Structure 1
Amino acid sequence: MEGSAEPKPSDLLSPEDFTFHYENLKYAHERRKTYLCYHLERLDGDRRVLLDSAVIQNQGSRHVEECFLFSENVLEKLKAPGSYSVTWYLSWSPCARCAQAVIRFLQQHPNVRLRILVARLYFHETRANRAALRALRRREAPIEIMSPEDFAYCWKHFVDHRGEDFQPWEDMDANVDRLAEELSGIWLSK
């Protein structure tokens, strides 16, 4: 990945916020904020050119996915002809409303490929959210559970870690496996 569009230190998550909001707990009580760390790249042959990289959070009633999708900064970068790749690292998976907004965005921007990695599944027991995740998958916006390597990557690129190495939390691996199994169940359900 070429370019120098890494987030400014003032825009990075604190280590405490990252751990609190991205910890992949089975019951993540009191995590009412959603964070989205992203990379926006232009695909130039075999090269990827980093255009933008940032951390955003929900703003009032506007969910974080909507903050990205309707960002003038992002939309301006997508005006130039070419193909683009966007990677999202979300603390929660999209809700039904946001999944529909993502689908509309991808229909309007067929030159954009979106990869979605999530720390936790948002109210995945509800029929609407399960159906929304399946709809995203059908629209080629793959959703994956963040791996320990993904958490370490986010720590390195989106957290003001001040040189400290990423320290996996207790049960991280087991929680990744459990969430991946739950997501597989969503793909198989109707």
Structure 2
Amino acid sequence: MDCSPFGAACGRKIERRPQAQPLYTPEQRARRDATPWTVVQGILAPVQFLIFLVSLGLVLRYLVTGDGLATATTSVVVKTIALYTIMITGCIWEQRVFGRYLFAPAFYWEDMFSMLVLALHTGYLASVATGFGDANFQMWLALSAYAAYVVNAAQFVIKLRMARRDAQPAYPHGHAA
């Protein structure tokens, strides 16, 4: 890093970092902005997060006190239904914007990690439905699913920030830096 304001004037070459690829091509951005599935995702994501927060509190309450197993279990089931809903609608959104239901290059790693999140949530449902493991095992499985969900949600928040950054003009006040 050359911090000297006179570096280029005295013969040193200033290396520019290559610009990151934008998240969306102009065509993809237009499709993203035109599809109603973008609004659906924008509504479902915070709703799912609120369900997650309530459910997390109920699961932790059960693990600490031993009280409220039925309520905690119901909350995890509701959270899992919300997850399935956002995943299905997200696949439709991805198809409308990128032309494929999953694993579009712009969201490849987010989709890959989403598969782990889905597997853990589905494993929880299977455990409850079959009686596999005791209640503590099931609640810890729910917590592992929730930990994966938090990582995945963070991935998507980072992508949202990238998309907003890409939408900003390079020189917002009409002059070069």
Query: Structure 1-normalised TM-score?
Result: 0.27
Query: Structure 2-normalised TM-score?
Result: 0.29
More strand by share: 1
